[in-house]
Homo-oligomer: A and B are copies of this chain.
Amino acid sequence: MIFADGKDVAAFVRDIKPVNRQMMAQAQARLDNLTKPQGSLGKLEVLARRISAIQQTIRPDIGHKVILTFAADHGVAAEGVSSVPQEVTRQMVYNFLRGGAGVNVLARHVGAEVWVVDVGVAGDIRADGLRSRKVKAGTDNLAKGPAMQIGDALKALGVGVETAREAIAQGAKILGTGEMGIANTTPSAALFAALLGVEVEEITGRGTGIDDATLRHKIEVIKQGLRVNSKHLTGPLATLAALGGLEIAAICGMILECARSGVPVVVDGFISSAGALVALQLADHAADYCFFSHMSAEQGHRLFFEKMGLEPILDLDMRLGEGTGAALAMGIIEAGVKIINEMATFAEAGVSV
């Protein structure tokens, strides 16, 4: 077991080091020597130099890409906060494994693998290709008490660490986060509200597409969850346990492991950002390794970026999750990596500076 208690987590995150700023400057020097006006490739250059700094080379390589899609269910679904039945979590896992979901299509498009991890789906689920690491068959209802006991949250965090470690051991040079879990915008919004100190009304959105009445109900459910769990909200880890989800904890763990191992990690959308927020509150320097893929159409994601002073790569009005945004952003990050590797310098091309 990776984490027996919060002290183990604290020890783990102490190993996360800031990236090498010197290497960032070296990468920019190379970018400035390529046949283009300085800085004219904008964010592609920013991405390339950050990947260079993380990998400690001005010839970075993110050829081997893996998206980890963690699936889990949520007790709070019983409150009727989603328009989609809980059964769909399990059905979608099979869809992922057969390659028919959005994340499969977009991952193939950018040349990434999709690893599907059951970290807490309700009910039995067995299939070839599935990584079965179920901590618990769904969380408890956060509107009535803690979603998870701290021990289960630590176990789910550990699943994220272990799966990331396995992908890295198999050669992955960049990881992407992904998730599936009916009702999981509810724990995500609750986490943002508790950890960022923002209003529930501002951070809560329509998820899969609920109507006005259900949205009002969802807001009330989240407020109730914050009230009944108020004594548990004593820090990022305790808050993650009380309000979060098993897949959200796994995403948090995977981000921490990437940061500790010096591997770039692309954060998907709204729900993945909730996991990332916990990781960033646990470990400042983890942000150096995170690439936020896109601005979700889910209301509240903009507020997360504003509060954190972060900027996503894409803004395509998407709100599907699964890792779809992470996949698309990997394609953009790889474009930047190819720029630094493949463009000719002024000298090579005989172009007047």
Contacts and interface: CB of A to CB of B under 8 A. Distances in A.
A343 B102 contact: yes
Contacts of A344: 95, 98, 100-101
Contacts of A44: 316, 318
A230 interface: no
Given A343-B100, A351-B92, A109 B338 contact: yes
Interface in A1-51: 34-44
A215 interface: no
Nearest to A101: B35
Contacts of A196: none
Interface in A291-326: 297, 313-320, 324
Contacts of A84: 37, 352
Given A105-B343, A320-B41, A91 B352 contact: yes
Contact of A352 (B35, B87, B317): B87
A108 interface: yes
- Identical chains in the assembly: 2
Interface residues of A, number: 56
B95 A339 contact: no
A331 interface: yes
Interface string A98-126: 10111011101100000000000000000
A78 interface: no
A38 B339 CA distance: 36
A100 B41 contact: no
A91 B36 CA distance: 12
A348 interface: yes
Interface string A64-93: 000000000000000000001101100110
B100 A319 contact: no
Nearest to A331: B331
A42 B318 contact: yes
A197 interface: no
Interface of A: 34-44, 84-85, 87-88, 91-92, 94-95, 98, 100-102, 104-106, 108-109, 207-209, 297, 313-320, 324, 328, 331-332, 334-335, 338-339, 342-344, 348-352
12 contacts: A34-B102, A35-B100, A37-B319, A37-B320, A38-B209, A39-B209, A42-B297, A94-B350, A100-B342, A102-B339, A105-B343, A328-B332
Kindly list the 10 A-B residue pairs having the minimum CB-CB distance in the complex, ordered from nearest.
Answer: A100-B344, A42-B317, A37-B208, A43-B316, A40-B320, A95-B349, A42-B318, A91-B351, A105-B342, A40-B319
Given A91-B349, A109-B338, 5 more contacts: A40-B318, A94-B349, A98-B344, A106-B339, A109-B331
